[in-house]
Structure formats: C-alpha cells, structure tokens
Structure 1
Amino acid sequence: MTDAIVNMFLEKLLNTLAEEGRYVTEFRDQFEKLQTDLQLMQCFLKDADRLKRKNHTIRNILADLRELIYEAEDILADCQLQSREDNLFSQGLLTCISPPKLHFKYQSGKRLKEIIEKITHIKQNISSLLGGPLLFQPEVINGGDQMPRWSSHVYDHTQVVGLEADTQKIKDWIFEAAREGRHEILAIGVVGMGGLGKTTIAQKVFNEREIEHQFDRRMWVSVSQTFTEEQIMRSMLRNLGDASVGDDANELLKKINQYLLGKRYLIVMDDVWREDVAWWQRICVGLPKGNGSCIIITTRIEKVSRQMGVKEIRIHRPKFLNKDYSWLLFRKIAFAASEGKCIYPDLEDVGKEIVDKCKGLPLAIKAVGGMMLCKAPYYREWRRIANHFRDELAENDNSVMASLQLSYDELPSYLKSCFLSFSVYPEDCVISKEQVVHWWIGEGFVPLRSGRSSTDAGEDCFSGLTNRCLIEAVDKTYNGTIITCKMHDMVRDVVLKIAEDDAFYRTNGINCRHWGISNNMDRKQLNANQKLRGLLSTTKSGEVNKIESSIAKKFSECRYLRVLDVSKSIFELSLGRLLFHIGSLQHLTYLSLSNTHPLIELPASLEKAYNLQILDVSYCQNLKILPPYLITLKKLKVLDVSHCGSLECLPKGLGRLSNLEVLLGFRPARSGHGCRIGELRNLTRLRILGLHLTHGDEVGDSEVNAMVNLQDLENLSISCFGSHGSDLTSKLDKLYPPQQLHELSLKFYPGKISPIWLNPIALPLLKYLSISSGNLASMHQSFWGADNNFAWKIQALMLESLSDLEVQWPMLQQAMQTLRIVNVSWCPELVSFPIDDVGFRGGVWFKEEHKS
C-alpha cells in the first residue's frame, strides 16, 4: 500500500505548504524536491502492489520507500508543532520553548536531506527497472483517486441467489424432527469449502419466520480458530440476554441449562475448525434434551461435523452455483444501480467471462461484482480487469483468493489503508463502524475534498468497502444504517497477509504502525515499538479489557501516536492519573475513552493535544465535569459525551469550536456557568446533533431559534430522559430544527401532543423518523400536512414503547405514502395496524415494504 502512503503524505504536504508555517517554510525547498520525486513515482506506484508479488527487488524498494515516507511525514508534523509554538511564543502565550530550536532545525534538516537522497536513489532504481525515465503525469497528480462512482450504499447484501433448495432441505429436516418428537437433539451439518455460502445458508434458515416461530430460543455462535470453551458458553449466554460476568465454566453451563430447560431451542455453531471436539461434548452433555431442539454446525471439515454428532443423512453439502445463478448474483451486485439489469450490451460477454472464472463460488462472485460496481461501465476497463483476473488465477488457482487479491489491487489508494485497518481485529469480531470511521479520519486515511465534511467522507469510505462486498453488515438501525460489521474469514486472511507484508499490523506487534489493545498485551512488545500510529481497543462483543497500569502508562510514550482508543477498558488506577502525560502525544487526533472505568475527569495535560479532532467519552457514567480547556481544542470535529449520567453540562464557550461536525450528548446549562443552547448558533458545520433536555429553563426565550440556521445539520436526536416540569414541552414546541433535516429522533418526549414543527411543511426533506418512549398520545393537526403539495417524504418510521399513542394506522399510511420500512413495537393503542402482514421478532412487530 505504498501508493496509499505516498498519496496521503502528498496531500498533507500540499496543505501544509499552503499554511506557510515558519519551519515548513525554512525547509520548503527540500519538501518541494521530495514532492516532485514522489509525484514522478505515482504512476508506477499504482501498479506496485501487483508488481511486488512477482519481483523481490521491487518489494524491497517499496518497503524502504514506505519507511522513508513515514519518517518524512513525522518531520513534517514536527515542523507544524514547532511553528505553532513560535506563534504562541510571539503572542506571549508561551514562556519557554522546547526542544531547543537550533537543535531541531539542524537535526530535521540533516535527516530530511538524507531522506531526499535515498528517495532520489529509489527513483533511479525504479527507472532502471522500467527501462526508462519516470515521466510527470499531471492528470494523475491533480486528479488523484476520486471517490467511487457509488460511494453510498446501493446493494442489499441480505439478498441471496440459488439457495432456496438448500434452506428448504434443512427446514424440512427440522420440521420432520419436531413432528416425530425425538428425544435427542437433531444435529445438522453444513459442510463445504470456504466461500461456498455455508454461513449464508445457515443465516437464511436461522432468520426464516417459520424458524422463529418454531423455536423458543435461538443462539448464533461464531466459533473462531482460536477459541476457548468458556468463550463459547459466554457467547451462548449473551444470545440469551445474560452478560454472565464473573462465572466459572461450571456455572456458565448450569445457567445455559436453566435458560433452555423445557424450551425448544436452535443453536448454530458457525465455522468450526478444531477436530478435537471434547469441548463440544462437554457442553452438549449439559444441554436439555427433547422438545425438537436442533443444532446446526457449519464447517469446512467433514470429520468435524461427524465428531460433533451429525449423521451422514443430515449432512448438507452445498453445491457450486450454476452459470445462470452465478450471472444473476453478479448482475445484482455489479449492476445494482440499474436494479440488477445489464444495460450495457458490450459488457455482457466480458462480464460473463469474469463470472466464469469464479467457478460458481458465491464469495468470489460477490468480490468481483462489488469491484465492477465501482468501475466505469466501459468495455476497455472491464477487459483490463478480466485480463488481470486471468493472471491472478494463473498464480493462484483458488478463485476466491484470486478475486479478493484483485479487489484489493483495484481499490483506490485511500481505501487500501481503510481496508487494512480491519487486520487489527480478532477473528469473528463484530466491529463498530463508528470506531473505524473515526480512526480513518484521525489518521488521515480519508481524502480531503473541498466542501466535503470529514465525517461524510468517512461514511463514503465505509460504503466503498461494503459495496465491494469486502465487509458485511451485522447490526443496522431501523432505517438500514449500518452500526456494526464483520469480515469473512477468507477476506481477513488476505487482509492479514497484506498488513503483515506492509508493516501495517503484525500479530507480534513489532515494527508495525498499528496494534490492537487486548487483555494479553505484552509490555515488552509495546516498549520495542515506538513507531505506532494507532493503538485501538479490539474487544469482542460483551467483553472488556483489563489493562495493567504499567502498560497503560506506556501508551503516552508512543510519541507519534495519532489514534488512541482505550474504550471498553477497566484500569487498576484512575484513568486521569494513568494518562497524566497524554499531552506529550501532540500528534494525537483521535482519543476514545468511551465506556472506561474509572474515568472521573479528563487529564489536565490533554490541553496540549491541540491536534485533537475526535474526542469520545460516551458511556463514562462517573465523568462529572468537562474541563474549560476543551473550548481551546479548535480542531475538534467530533465530540461525544452521550450517556454520561453524572455530567451536568458542557463548558461555556463551546460555540467557539466552529469545526464541530458531530456533537452528541449536549446538555445545556441552566445558568450562565456552562454552555447554553444558544451557543449552537455558532456551530454552523454540525451534521449530527444529539440533545439531552430535562428542564424548561435550559432553553431561554431568545434561544429557541438556536438550530434554525444550522444549514448542514442532517441528523437530530432529542432525548428528554429524566425530564422535570411541564414548561419543557412548551419550550420544545418553539425549538424549531432546520428545514433540511433528513433524520429525526424523539426519545422520552414529555408532551401529550407532538411538537407543532413536526410537520411536512417545516421538515420537507425528512426521510427517517423515530419516536420512542414518553407520553405522546396524539399528533398535532399540523403533522398531517395542509394538502397534497406538502406530503411527508418519510421512507422509514419507527414507533417504540408509546403506550398512550392513539393514531389510526390508515391515516399514517395516507400521510406517508413513500414509506418503505416500518418498525413498530409496544404501541397497543395504534389502531388498525396490519399485524397479519408482519413478523413478530423479540417483542417487535416488524413490517418491511419495498416500493418502486
């Protein structure tokens, strides 16, 4: 991914040179020489990932170049820091300068000269290998990698092709066992090679409505290659709603037995590798028998399924997709923008040629289909891809691995770094989209585009990977927005190999730039690696990190750390004391202390982290106050203080943070000692805002228009949890949001009637509406609109836990004729809701409609 590193460095260099900082200016000639040499190499670097696999000389050259670029970037960042200190000194805001300027200038200038000489030598070596001089290509330099044609989510990954017979076969086995009333547990095996769709088949069966009705309890357990018996049982209990913290193995099994006793249950053990199944035999003995319960095992190894109790007549071996189904699956992805129809006749033959090379393997077809979705629909481009695919298969006959390698090679440079970031997460880990997007922004992986917010660009990068079928959605909101994701183990194999080769991430943590925080961290490894750029919590769902104080103190010694995420961690000492020296991390751009214990206050030294762009302290229940210095962190783009129960308000002057794009958990002060809601007027770049209001005096009469002119605001959430007094409702009635709002969430609304501004005239662009909990009993007359010229454009609606809401469902349908998704739960007074047409899942009536 050397091209990604070079492009990222060039973008930073161009922006920094434009700032005219003193120290950058002093080294301007050297930086410009470096810029020219790197620009000349860009064309070569675009194909470098493919070339280096065949040529060890190129591989070594790229490794040397990568390290030199990292070092040059560090020097550039240090120059920016020194320039800032000079500015503060000249303004009388600093009384001392450290380190001594002359020493810094001498050392940096000397090292920069050495780097340029080495890069010049590398350029000459590349010219020799290519048999001619490198030529300047302005269209490549100026244009760079553009965002893909489809940067928003366009393909529904829940669609499957050609699996109807597979799922019906397994369902028939299940229903047959239930009819016969067998005493033993039915064991079913789904066996086949990687990428054949075993997990997809199991998921389809697991989520079928008939199967939901058939079983009282359902558990899905992802069995990684490195697992413990205790981890498996904890995962089963989490499926049953039990956190099972602190129990030993015997207690865990007893709990499972108690939850399942007298119940009909379904367990899926997905992707089992270990041939020694003693762990399963011990668990199986503790499971209650009878009632038509069933266990489905997916595995690549037939012997495993047999040893886990599956009989030959209950082993299902999925077949490869035939040519028709293969082409259909490819079309659904590659031509998703035209509803799966190939509207380019000249592409059909080459498209079928590409599909034939996938040999009927769904994962391979998805990978190449996602890749082609993001390519221009030109025959020449598709022919180039088909030829490269042929070359990959000549070296690696595994069509899945060849297609995945080709997908990586064809990624835009900025997406290569984003893709490799998934290497730090353990196998089968469910990954927070928010965490990875914040990481990408913090480390500069997201390309800077004029007029484009960082958070928007980060979302586009995420969609770029999902559209290419390289990552899979796990959890979504009611409107389809992805919350968590995961990576197929074969995709992860490719990611790990590339990350290891490029020193992005290594399992031993030595000489790499990124590492995951876990319970088994080794202080010696941390001591030996001072090159770290990113250090992130990578716990699996339901787990926490227990980090020794001696290790936590070492975090602040990684001088060039950009990203530090210690979320979901428990520390022996106060986190404020452990991070006392965090201010020394002056390159830090992303800090997450979310859900950490014990965090009572932010460390004073954080004031020095002036480069900080993202600060996440959500779910820190003991956090009582945010320091006044917070308003001096001018580069902040994301501030998340949501679910901090002890926090009363934010510091006065927050409106000075004019770069904020996301502000969550905002609690206005009731007096002048904290930030009032009126300060929101100054945050004109806000895209996402989460308000927590509990008292009427938190909104002054002159502050009710605080949000009206926030023209970039698209997503607004208002929570009134714990509200007091009736005057809050009247204030909320006047607190108009901006007209261009796309998504609105009202939680614990205290009024009986909806706000007057919740109507299609005031919010003409609203697409997603969620109302949950609270006292809402009816909708204001304005909600229904004036006439057909002002109809709602809402596409997804969620109504949850509204026990007093008396609304005629036909009236809602008439007012919201563009509805596609409806999620309704615990609304007993909702009249005429069509429950015959919906599914009942976990206490939720769920209806999904797709309209053209």
Structure 2
Amino acid sequence: MVDAVVTVLLEKLLKALSEESRILVEFRDQFEKLKNELQLMQSFLKEAERLKRKNEVLRSIMGNLRELIYEAEDILADCQLQVKDDDPLSSGWLTCIRPSKLPFQYQTGKRLMEINEKISEIKNNISSYLGVPDMNRSGGMVDPNNDQMPRWSSPVYDHTQVVGLEGDTRKIKDWLFEAEHDILAIGVVGMGGLGKTTLAQTVFNHRVIEDHYERRIWVSVSQTFTEEQILRSMLRNLGDASVGDDNCELSRKIKQYLLGKRYIIVMDDVWSLDVTWWRRIYEALPKGNGNSIIITTRIEEVAQRMGVVEARVHRPKCLSKDDSWLLFRKVAFAATGGICNYRELESVGEEIVEKCKGLPLAIKAVGGIMLCKPQRYQEWRRIANHFRDELAENDNSVMASLQLSYDELPSYLKSCFLCLSIYPEDCVITRDQLVHWWIGEGFFPLRNGRPVVEAGEDCFSGLTNRCLLEVVDKTYYGTINTCKIHDMVRDLVMRIAKDDAFFKQDYSNCRHLGIQNSMVERHFMANKKLRALLSTTKTGEVNKVSPNVAKRFCESRYLRAMDLSRSIFETPLTGLLNHIGFLRHLTYLSLSSTHPLVQLPPSMEKLSNLLILDLSYCQNLKTLPTYIVTFKKLRVLDVSHCGSLEYLPKGLGRLSQLEVLWGFRPAKSSQSEGCRIGELRNLLGLRKLGLQLTGGDEIGYTEMDALVDLQELQHLTISCFDSNDEEVATKLDQLPPPKQLHELSLHFYPGKFSPTWLSPISLPMLTYLSISSGNLAKMKESFWGNDDSVWRIEGLMMENLSDLGVEWPRVQQVMPSLRIVNASWCPELASFPIDDVGFRGGVWKREEHAS
C-alpha cells in the first residue's frame, strides 16, 4: 500500500507548501524536492504494488520506500509542532533562530537530505523493474482526477437483497416446522463464499420464523473461540450481560431462559472437529417444544459430529447463470435500479460473471468494483482482463475477485480497508470508530473545503458499496451503524496488512494495534512506530487493561489515533492520562464507556491537534475543563449519555471548525461558567447536533434564533429526557431549526402538541423524521401543511407514543414520498397498514414504484 501512504504524504506536503507564511525557509527546498520526486513516482506505484506480490526484491524495495515515507511524514509533523511552540506572533517556521532550536534544525535538514537521496535511488530501481525508460519526466505524473473521492448521493446496493435462495429457504423452513420432541439439528455445508451465512440469516430473520420461535440465538463461531465466549454470546442474545460467571453458571442461566420456550440457535461458521464444547452445551439445553439448531460449516464432518443426520444436511449449490447475472446487475447497476443501459457493458459483465462460477461473494465483490467505475467499455474491459490475470494465478474465484477488488481501490481506500485487519474474527465494528480513525490518520484527501466527517462517511460507503463490508445493524431508514467482514475478506486483509507492516498478529514492528485482553507490556516496549491504538472488543465485552500495559499507552510519540472505549482499568484512568500530553500528534481520542473517568487531566491541554474527542457514555464525568474551547481544530465533540455532566464550558462557540456536536447541554442562567445555547450561532459549519434540554431556563428569550442560521445543519436530535418543566415545550416551540434540515429526531418531547415549526413549510427539505416517547398527543394544524405544500419525508418512525392519535390516510396524503414507516407502541394510531398487531408495533415498507 505504498501508493496509499505516498498519497497521504503528498496531500499534507501540498497543503504545507501552499501556506507560504508557515514554511521553514531552511527546509522548503528539501520538502519541495520530496514532493516532486513522489509526484513523478505516483502513477507507477499502483503497478509496482501489484507486481511486488511476485517479486521478492521489488517487495523489499517498496517496503523501504514505505518506511521512508512514514519517516518523512513524522518529520513534517514535528516541524508543524515546532511552529506551535514558537512565538505565536512569528510569521514563519522558526524564523527566529534560537540556540535551543539549532539541533532540531541541523538534524532535520540532514535527515531530509538523506531521505531524498534514498527515494531518488528507489525511484530509479522501481523504473528499471517496471521497464519505464525515464521516470524523471512529467509524463509520469498521476492524473489527479483518477483518485478523487466520489460523493455517494445516488442510490447504492441494498445489502438486504438476496438472489436465488427461495428454494433453499423454503426447504430449511419446512424442516424446521417438522421439529417435535427432541432438538432438530440442521447442517448447511459448503465452500467459502457460497452464501451459507446469508442463507441462515434469511431463514433466521424471516417473519414466520420470528413468529414461530419465542427465543432466537445467533452465535458467530470464530476459529479461535472458547467455550466461555460461546456461552456469553448466547446469553447476550437473551439479553443478559453475564459478567463474572463461570461456565457452569452461564449454562444454568441459558437453560433458565430457554426452559419451556420454543427456541432456535444458529452456530455460524464452525471449523473445529473437536466438538466436546458443543456436547457440554447441548446437554444443558432444554429439550422438546420443537426446538431447532442450524449449523453452518465448510467441513461436513463438523456437522456430523454436532449431531446432524444426513437427511438434514443442506448443501447449497452455486447460483445459476440467470441468478448470477441478476445478482451482478443488482450490485453493479445499483445506481440505475439494477438496469444496464449499455449493451456493450452487458457482454463484458456476462463474461466477468461467468468467471465467478456462481459464487455469490465473488459476484458481489466484482459487481462492487463495477458500481464504483465509470460505465465505459474500455474501463470494463480492463477490469475483465485484470480478473482473468488474477484467476490465472489463483483458481479460487472468490479470492481472485477480492484481490482484484483491493487492487482496484483508490489509494486512500486501501489504507481505510487495511484498518479492518486489527479487528478479531467476527468482531462487530462501528462505522463511527472507523470514520474517526481514518480522519485521525488523514487517510483520505480533503479538497475544496469539504467537511471532513462527510468525506470519511463517503469512504465508509465506498467500502460497503464494493461489498468489502457486511452490514450488521442500520437505522430504520438505512444508514449503516455497524458492520463486520467475511472471513475470506479477512484472510486477504490480514495477509496484505502483514506484508505492509500495517498490522501483525504478533504485535511486532507494526503501526496499528487493537487493544485486547491478551496484550502484555512487551508488545509496546520496542514499538515506537505506533500510529493507532484502538479498542477492538467484541459486542458486549470490555477490555480489562493491566497497569503495566496501560502505562505504555502514552509512550508512542507519533500516535495519531487512540481509542480506549469500553475499557476497564485496574488503576485510575485519570492517572494514566496524566502523561497523555506527550502525544502531541494525537488527532483522535476516544474515552467512550471507560471506567472510571471522573475528570480530564490538565495534561490534555497540550493536545492542540485534536480533531475528534469522544467522551460518550462516561456516566461519572462531571465537568469538562475550560481548555476544551482552545482546541481550534476540533471537528467532532461527543459528550452524549454523560449523565453526570451538567453543562459544557463557556466559550464553546469559538470552535468554529466543529462539524458534529452530540450531547450539548446548555447552561442555566445561574451557571455562569457554562455555555449558553446562544453560542451555537457561531458554529456555522455544524452539520450534526444533539441537544439535551431539561428546563426552560436553558433557553433565553434572546436565544430563540440560536439554530435557525446554521445553514450547514442537516441532522438535529432534541432530547428532553428527565424534563418536568412545562416551559421547555413553550421555549422549544420558539426555537426553529434551519429550513434545510434533512433529519430530525425528537425524544421525550414534553408538549401535548407538536412544535409550530414542525411543518412542511418551515422544514421543506426534511427527509427523515423520528418521534419517540414523551407526551405528544396531537399534531398542530401546521404539521399538515396546505394545498401548496406537502412533506418530502421518505422515512418516518413513531415509537412509544401512547397518546398520539393520528389517522393513517391523512399521513399518507401529506407525505406522498413516504417509503419506510417504523411504528411501535402507538395504540392510538388509526387505520395503520399492519395487520394483527393491534397498531402497537410493526414495520411497513413500500417500494418506490408503488402507488
């Protein structure tokens, strides 16, 4: 991934060199030379990356180049820190030659010259391997338009769609309904990429299966599982965190939850032929009531040893030619509803699909490549030829398609993709953690003042659209919250990450680590290259970090991203963070759900490069220090779900770069040190805002316009949890959001009537509306618009609104674009289009073409 790290450094160099007043005169020539050399090499690096897999010498050369690029980036970052430490009135980098700065200047200048000499030599070596006659001519420069980030505003592939599984699904459902007295065991057996998990998920989530079974348990069985992990996963499915129990107690609890209930258990992707763990679990399970178990595995003997008889083994077949082409079209032409408008592309597409041999994962991976490529014959033909070459080296069409997908990634997405390597098998990954990490390390280019969070989210979409990420959880209207990776995708990313020293499973000499309970002190002692250290625990688990390991966290001076979320420390966290000021390059810090965190230490004041600070779910955090308002680069501040936090510090409005602010609690008039809601007027770049209100005193009469001029605001959440003040509803009614708002969520709204501004006239761009809990009983007349105005809302959620009386035909009339409705526990809804649920729960979806 040398082309990726070169792209990142070039982006930073171009920005630094454009800031004339901030350039250190002594180093400018060396940085200019470095920039020119890298630009000359850039267009050849992608081909060199591909060829290095076959050439040990070229792989070594590219590895040396990668290390030099990282070192040059660290030098640039150190220079920028020297500027901050200088007199703020100074107009340049170290323009005042102070004795204390001379060693830094000398060593830096000398090392830059050495790096440039080595890079020039490497450039010549690479050119000879590639047969490029002269790489010193400008013709070798990369087209800057080839690697620009797309904006995913058009429709993309719906991951919930499945193709060719109707017969398989029906067969397994029929078997399940035959279950009687004992536990029925069903095996789904086949090679990797065949769609075993997809089939099991389709059955598991089917409406009739949900209705038939009172308890449903899904367990992803990793290759390195323990019996305890399996038991805890089963209990989490049943809603029990089960902290501190041994295996016997865990088994007893599971039996209690399932006793007298009809249940179904899926054990997904089992590898181990040693199934003694399963026999112990099986013996503890209650029998009878038509209970069932589905086992997916690549190894038929595993299914047999786990009690599946031959008559209940299902072996999925590869997709037919027609189904293969249909699946490919749904992915590759998702932007046009699965329709190919060019006959010449159809012929190339059919040729590609034939090479996938009916394997769904291969088809989706190649289809994802085509979705992200221009619909031009020459480009599609190039991809088809590349796929043919990959298959010549690797007859496994799934692995060949995944390698092709990686090779065809833009350079910035290669770095983003390799981040997946630090997560353990079957780990559920949050979108926000990935996006924040990518922002922190500067993995993607930022041009034309584009909002950094939006750009990061587009990178996430770039990987999901290429089917390199699998959706785990998403909002009611489709935004992905969590994801995971297929084990074959993980095989690929682990191999590349190891080759490129991005991440190694033995933790040695790599730049990115995931925090796990198995870590020991020696994993950090010799690793001074570390760029990112992130929590990678599985769902429902926490990191238990020993003091010896924790004290090493703040020793890697070039650390950019540190996420300690969901961690328990045996020593006070504040003591650990006393040394965090040493990490001057830190740009992403997450302390979310850490225990115990009562206050932030003074040393954090030195972290002036912070772009993202996540303190969400820190229930014991009482105050934020005033130095937070000096973090001028801050783009994301998350203090949501911090129950003890009374307000944010005064002066928050100075953070003019802020794009996301979750958990904002305005200070009351008596809290003179707190930030009032009026300061939000200054946050003109704010795109997402979470507002928490408990009393009317938090909104002054001169602050009613605090939100209306925030022209970039697209997502607003207002929560009035624990509010008993009637004045809150009155004040909220006079606090209109900006007209261009795209998404609105109201939680625990205290008023009986909807706000006056909740109308299609005041919010003409609103696309998604969610209202949950609270006292809302009736919509004001303004909500229904007039003859000239209707809502543009496509997604509507109504939840726990026991008093709300709304007639469904009237909703349909005023929301003609409505596609998705999620309503639960709203007993007063009239004529709602869901049968036999008493109008208290359900999800209704309509296809876009429906009348």
What TM-score results when the alignment is normalised by the length of structure 2? 0.97
Shift of 1:430: 0.4
Instruction: State the partner residue of 1:684.
Output: 684
Instruction: State the partner residue of 1:365.
Output: 363
- SS of the aligned residue for 1:701 comes to coil
Instruction: State the partner residue of 1:631.
Output: 629
Instruction: State the partner residue of 2:842.
Output: 845
Say if 1:43 and 1:137, in contact at 8 Å, map to a contact too: no
27-36 or 53-62: bigger deviation? 53-62
Instruction: State the partner residue of 1:225.
Output: 223
Instruction: State the partner residue of 1:375.
Output: 373
Q: 1:543 to 1:782 in 2, by over 3 A?
A: same
Residue 479 in structure 1 maps to residue 480 in structure 2: no
Query: Which residue identity does 1:664 align to in structure 2?
Result: W
Q: Distance in 1 between matches of 2:51 and 2:25?
A: 37
Query: Which residue identity does 1:296 align to in structure 2?
Result: I
Counterpart selection for 1:391 from 389, 392, 398: 389
Deviation per residue, 1:646-687 (Å, 9 max, x gap): 000000000000000000000000023210000000000000
Shift of 1:600: 0.5
Query: Which residue identity does 1:681 align to in structure 2?
Result: R
Q: Distance in 1 between matches of 2:780 and 2:846?
A: 26
Say if 1:687 and 1:712, in contact at 8 Å, map to a contact too: yes
Q: 1:171 to 1:97 in 2, by over 3 A?
A: farther
Query: Which residue identity does 1:848 align to in structure 2?
Result: K
Say if 1:24 and 1:80, in contact at 8 Å, map to a contact too: no
Say if 2:752 and 2:775, in contact at 8 Å, map to a contact too: yes
Shift of 1:46: 2.0
Instruction: State the partner residue of 1:674.
Output: 674
Query: Which residue identity does 1:277 align to in structure 2?
Result: V
- SS of the aligned residue for 2:552 comes to helix
Shift of 1:814: 1.3
Deviation per residue, 1:334-384 (Å, 9 max, x gap): 111111111111111111111111011000000000001111111111111
Shift of 1:103: 0.8
Say if 1:236 and 1:256, in contact at 8 Å, map to a contact too: yes
Residue 115 in structure 1 maps to residue 127 in structure 2: no
Say if 2:186 and 2:294, in contact at 8 Å, map to a contact too: yes
Deviation per residue, 1:118-146 (Å, 9 max, x gap): 00111111222233111324872543501
Counterpart selection for 2:335 from 334, 337, 346: 337
- SS of the aligned residue for 1:88 comes to coil
Say if 1:562 and 1:589, in contact at 8 Å, map to a contact too: yes
Say if 2:742 and 2:766, in contact at 8 Å, map to a contact too: yes
Query: Which residue identity does 2:763 align to in structure 1?
Result: L
- SS of the aligned residue for 1:140 comes to coil
Counterpart selection for 1:154 from 144, 153, 156: 156
Q: Distance in 2 between matches of 1:65 and 1:21?
A: 30
Query: Which residue identity does 1:726 align to in structure 2?
Result: E
Q: Percent identity?
A: 70
Shift of 1:461: 0.4
Instruction: State the partner residue of 1:174.
Output: 176
Q: How does 1:255-404 map to 2 (within 5 A)?
A: 255-404=253-402
Shift of 1:152: 5.7
Shift of 1:153: 5.6
Shift of 1:830: 1.1
Say if 2:154 and 2:335, in contact at 8 Å, map to a contact too: no
Query: Which residue identity does 2:604 align to in structure 1?
Result: L
- SS of the aligned residue for 2:193 comes to coil
Counterpart selection for 2:576 from 575, 578, 596: 578
Q: Distance in 1 between matches of 2:495 and 2:55?
A: 17
Query: Which residue identity does 1:835 align to in structure 2?
Result: I
Shift of 1:25: 3.3
Q: How does 1:18-33 map to 2 (within 5 A)?
A: 18-20=18-20, 24-33=24-33
Q: 1:381 to 1:437 in 2, by over 3 A?
A: same
Instruction: State the partner residue of 2:830.
Output: 831
Say if 2:561 and 2:588, in contact at 8 Å, map to a contact too: yes
Query: Which residue identity does 1:308 align to in structure 2?
Result: M
Q: How does 1:44-55 map to 2 (within 5 A)?
A: 44-55=44-55
Q: Distance in 2 between matches of 1:704 and 1:520?
A: 53
Say if 1:17 and 1:24, in contact at 8 Å, map to a contact too: no
Shift of 1:548: 1.1
Counterpart selection for 1:163 from 165, 168, 180: 165
631-640 or 96-105: bigger deviation? 96-105
Shift of 1:250: 0.5
Instruction: State the partner residue of 1:466.
Output: 464
Query: Which residue identity does 1:800 align to in structure 2?
Result: E
Q: Distance in 2 between matches of 1:21 and 1:573?
A: 45
- SS of the aligned residue for 2:766 comes to coil
Q: Distance in 1 between matches of 2:119 and 2:378?
A: 34
Instruction: State the partner residue of 2:756.
Output: 756
Q: Distance in 2 between matches of 1:76 and 1:565?
A: 24
Say if 2:696 and 2:725, in contact at 8 Å, map to a contact too: yes
Instruction: State the partner residue of 2:539.
Output: 541
Counterpart selection for 2:237 from 233, 239, 242: 239
Deviation per residue, 1:249-300 (Å, 9 max, x gap): 0011011101111111000000000000000000000000011110000000
Q: Distance in 2 between matches of 1:141 and 1:550?
A: 49
Q: Distance in 1 between matches of 2:143 and 2:308?
A: 59
Residue 82 in structure 1 maps to residue 79 in structure 2: no
- SS of the aligned residue for 1:615 comes to strand
- Mind listing any 5+ residue stretches in structure 2 that lack a counterpart? none
Q: Distance in 1 between matches of 2:106 and 2:204?
A: 65
Q: Distance in 2 between matches of 1:484 and 1:696?
A: 36
Shift of 1:98: 11
Deviation per residue, 1:458-480 (Å, 9 max, x gap): 11100000000000110011111
Counterpart selection for 1:531 from 516, 529, 532: 529
Say if 1:77 and 1:587, in contact at 8 Å, map to a contact too: yes
Shift of 1:771: 0.4
Deviation per residue, 1:573-629 (Å, 9 max, x gap): 221111101111110000000000010011111111100000000000000000000
Q: Distance in 1 between matches of 2:151 and 2:311?
A: 48
Q: Distance in 1 between matches of 2:19 and 2:268?
A: 53
- SS of the aligned residue for 1:798 comes to strand
Query: Which residue identity does 1:836 align to in structure 2?
Result: D
Deviation per residue, 1:784-823 (Å, 9 max, x gap): 0021x21000000000011111111221121111111111
Deviation per residue, 1:468-525 (Å, 9 max, x gap): 0000110011111111000000001000000000011111111111000111111101
Query: Which residue identity does 1:558 align to in structure 2?
Result: S
Instruction: State the partner residue of 2:724.
Output: 724
Q: 1:62 to 1:714 in 2, by over 3 A?
A: same
Q: Distance in 1 between matches of 2:475 and 2:732?
A: 25
- SS of the aligned residue for 1:11 comes to helix
Q: 1:138 to 1:402 in 2, by over 3 A?
A: closer
Q: Distance in 2 between matches of 1:189 and 1:46?
A: 43
Q: Distance in 1 between matches of 2:155 and 2:530?
A: 32
Say if 1:151 and 1:464, in contact at 8 Å, map to a contact too: no
Q: How does 1:564-643 map to 2 (within 5 A)?
A: 564-643=562-641
Q: Distance in 1 between matches of 2:240 and 2:328?
A: 41
Query: Which residue identity does 2:134 align to in structure 1?
Result: P
Query: Which residue identity does 2:832 align to in structure 1?
Result: F
Query: Which residue identity does 1:176 align to in structure 2?
Result: E
- SS of the aligned residue for 1:594 comes to coil
How many equivalent pairs are there? Answer: 842
Instruction: State the partner residue of 1:408.
Output: 406
Q: Distance in 2 between matches of 1:832 and 1:151?
A: 34
Say if 1:72 and 1:112, in contact at 8 Å, map to a contact too: yes
Instruction: State the partner residue of 1:133.
Output: 134
Query: Which residue identity does 2:225 align to in structure 1?
Result: F
Shift of 1:317: 0.2
Q: Distance in 2 between matches of 1:550 and 1:24?
A: 40
Say if 1:797 and 1:821, in contact at 8 Å, map to a contact too: yes
- SS of the aligned residue for 2:261 comes to coil
634-643 or 550-559: bigger deviation? 550-559
- SS of the aligned residue for 2:439 comes to helix
Query: Which residue identity does 2:188 align to in structure 1?
Result: V
